[in-house]
Structure 1
Amino acid sequence: MTGRDENGDDGRRVGRRSRVLKTAGLVLAGALVLGAGSAGWAYWHLNGNIKSVDINNALGDNRPAKSVTTPSASASASELPTEALNILVLGSDSRSGDENQALGGGSSTGARSDTAMVVHIDAGRTSATVVSIPRDTLVTRPSCPLPSGGSTEVAYSAMFNSAYSVGGPVCAVKTVESLTDVRMDHYIEIDFSGFAKLVDALGGVTVTTDEDIDDEDSHLTLEAGTHHLDGETALALARTRHGIGDGSDLGRIGLQQKLVKALLEQISSTDLLTDPTQLYEVADAVTGSLTTDTGLDSLSELMSLGESLKGLSAGEVKTVTMPVVTAASDANRVVAREPEAGELWESLR
């Protein structure tokens, strides 16, 4: 198994990915306009949707160093930020709430992080690298502080996604930092029901699959071909792994990337600012599904991030999967392939 560069030769896929970052800022800006035009109710509702976790306070100073960029002598207050950013983005199968349970979270408590991406935005915000980490990767899970006090035990050869299960966002961040030695400046999480609502708010997505899918676990049966999916079916596609290929997580990552492409196409073809009702529905779905660190837990902070990405060009966004090989201890698990994985993380510091 190898690391994979998901960019097409003509740069069209990365173009779509860069547009979604700009669209996020547009949606949030529109939400602010809606708030101003509705006596502030919409703004306060959307702002109040966002949940946050104080990761910096929980982890303290025993972390990888932040990226340091020396400001240019000619820099002005109006110029773009000059520091690089690393953002851990997780998709979680939360079991909390009836909606998440109905969409496949099950009846138990807790959650897992079935999608994990490290988004590295270079200084000046003109290029980015998105690295997918397979959930089946075996890692050394560090001791993590718990909200109730105390801490988890160090675990060797633990599945990567178990960090979120045992210690939530704080442990997920600490495990990624331990694996990569890269400081995570921000954290963004989206859950089951929020993802499904977002797809529905956009009017669904059109996806073309290359093979038949029949996965009892994700409750998805889909013939090969082109389909217009609603939110629930799109979520099932994002979760599918056993009904395709060899059933590995790398196959699911490929499906998720196909779904992201379809979402970007839908977003780019929808003029949200001409339809305030749909704009509000999309903004409500986005903010209602988010958990962030305390540095991104307001509309103004999210909009500021979106605005800073306006200069991100199509040819300067690269997507890859962390290089891995099959684990010697378990044919159904993988481990980071060295030195390639280490060299990849080194390039993001």
Structure 2
Amino acid sequence: MTDDSRSTPTASRRRAGGKRGRRRKPPARRTGWRIAAWSTAAVVVLGGGGLGFVYFKLNGNLSGVDINAALGTDRPDNVDNGSQDILVLGSDSRAGANSAYGRDEGSSRSDTAMILHVYAGHKQASVVSIPRDTIVPRPECKTLEGRTSPAVRRAQFNEAFSVGGPACAVKTVENMTGIRMDHYMEVDFAGFQKLIDKLGGVSVTTTKAIHDKQSHLDLSAGKHVLNGEQSLGLVRTRHGVGDGSDLGRIKLQQAFVKALIDQVKSVGLFTSPTKLYGIADTATKALTTDSELASVNKLLTFANGLKGIGSGDMHMVTLPVTTDPRDPNRVVPIQSAAGQIWQALRADRPIPESALADGEGTRTEADGVVS
């Protein structure tokens, strides 16, 4: 639209002087507004495109497993009481980048197993660690090659993952507990190490020296900021603390998880988009989830539901076990005590301390070594 109040004086000068007058420079205010408008448009276009790229990049990193389709309807009831149960596994695959940590005797195994129970309201959580050497019944499972592996009465817990991958691991846990797993999450060694490095390390304090050549760990007593390789060594060490059993290692894992939660909360991710993207990129590459979590939007929604839970809000315990009478190098669940735990979680109640009293993993030589 023509602004008559500005065109009239210019036209008068043209008539009076016989020559075309100089064009007036637009007011600075209008020029600034135009720059701002175009800048805003550029930010919207480029920023929106960038976010789209980031979304598809991170989405493409995630691996999903359709647990529901694999297991069908032969599962515990899905109790809708506001709580959630998640099976979290640390993959013992020695393939590719993980080969630096030793040879695998066969296919992939679950080196770390935890059942995370998030109570209704998402302000508190309980974590039950399952020793990988626990002898349990394993149900019939489809193998990774598509064959059927028959049920067995005695199997080492982590063999379920080796035989049938995530679906068999979930089925074995549900068979043990009578609790339907709402979600499944798996982290591999190499991805875990890279994630810790992206976070800038994790701060821990050790009350005694830990030395274990097999897990590449050499720590003096005192305060440390562990890099990725040291963190991986700590959660995998069996010989650096105590009698070399899996029960001592679990205590170190539990202490490290709490330190990691504190580190994530203190790192200030949202003040640095570059750092946030780097961590998100690394984390999504390291994760395998059930198909219901295998997208950035769903994973973000899930994570937001847990952000109110700090390390002090997590009750971390070890499944009550005792030495297997048939094999002194293995353990078996104390059925009465384990039953109390599963009953409490099904009812969304705290785990009773009485259920833990006799478990060999309740008190170990690794207690208090790491904080």
User: Would you call these one fold, judging by a TM-score over 0.5?
Assistant: yes
The corresponding residue for 1:17 is: none
8 Å contact 2:261–2:310 — kept in the other structure? no
The corresponding residue for 2:227 is: 230
- Among 98, 101, 104, the alignment partner of 2:99 is 101
2:72 equivalent to 1:60: yes
The corresponding residue for 2:87 is: 88
The corresponding residue for 1:337 is: 334
State how far apart, in whole Å, the 2-side matches of 1:237 and 1:177 are.
29
Q: How does 1:1-349 map to 2 (within 5 A)?
A: 36=48, 38-69=50-81, 83-97=82-96, 99-102=97-100, 104=101, 106=103, 110-312=107-309, 316-349=313-346
Give CA-to-partner distance per residue, 1:84-131, whole Å, 9 cap, x none. Answer: 21110111122232x1223x1536662111111111122333432211
1:186 Cα deviation (Å)? Answer: 0.7
Point out the more displaced range, 288-297 or 266-275.
266-275
Name the % identity: 54
The corresponding residue for 1:72 is: none
**Greater CA radius of gyration, 1 or 2?**
2
> Structure 2 counterpart of 1:306, which letter?
A
1:244 Cα deviation (Å)? Answer: 1.2
> Structure 1 counterpart of 2:90, which letter?
G
8 Å contact 1:141–1:155 — kept in the other structure? yes
Q: TM-score, with normalisation over the residues of structure 2?
A: 0.76
State how far apart, in whole Å, the 2-side matches of 1:269 and 1:225 are.
21
1:341 Cα deviation (Å)? Answer: 0.6
> Structure 2 counterpart of 1:87, which letter?
I
Give CA-to-partner distance per residue, 1:57-92, whole Å, 9 cap, x none. Answer: 1111111111134xxxxxxxxxxxxx3211101111
The corresponding residue for 1:79 is: none
Aligned residues: 301
8 Å contact 2:144–2:163 — kept in the other structure? no
Q: SS where residue 345 of structure 2 aligns?
A: coil
Q: TM-score, with normalisation over the residues of structure 1?
A: 0.81
State how far apart, in whole Å, the 2-side matches of 1:44 and 1:105 are.
34
Q: Against the structure 1 CA distance between its residues 43 and 217, is the aligned structure 2 distance closer, same or farther, given a 3 Å change threshold? A: same
8 Å contact 2:216–2:229 — kept in the other structure? no
Q: SS where residue 233 of structure 1 aligns?
A: helix
State how far apart, in whole Å, the 2-side matches of 1:107 and 1:336 are.
26
Q: Against the structure 1 CA distance between its residues 206 and 313, is the aligned structure 2 distance closer, same or farther, given a 3 Å change threshold? A: closer
Q: Against the structure 1 CA distance between its residues 275 and 145, is the aligned structure 2 distance closer, same or farther, given a 3 Å change threshold? A: same
1:264 Cα deviation (Å)? Answer: 2.4
Q: Return 5+ residue gaps in structure 2 as ranges.
A: 1-45, 347-371
8 Å contact 2:122–2:308 — kept in the other structure? yes
1:242 Cα deviation (Å)? Answer: 1.7
State how far apart, in whole Å, the 1-side matches of 2:58 and 2:102 are.
25
8 Å contact 1:35–1:41 — kept in the other structure? no
Point out the more displaced range, 145-154 or 334-343.
145-154
State how far apart, in whole Å, the 2-side matches of 1:37 and 1:267 are.
28
8 Å contact 1:84–1:123 — kept in the other structure? yes
> Structure 2 counterpart of 1:216, which letter?
K
State how far apart, in whole Å, the 1-side matches of 2:111 and 2:194 are.
18
State how far apart, in whole Å, the 1-side matches of 2:195 and 2:267 are.
13
Task: Name which structure has the greater RCO, CA cutoff 8 Å, separation 6+.
Answer: 1
> Structure 1 counterpart of 2:85, which letter?
N
1:144 Cα deviation (Å)? Answer: 0.5
Q: Against the structure 1 CA distance between its residues 300 and 320, is the aligned structure 2 distance closer, same or farther, given a 3 Å change threshold? A: same
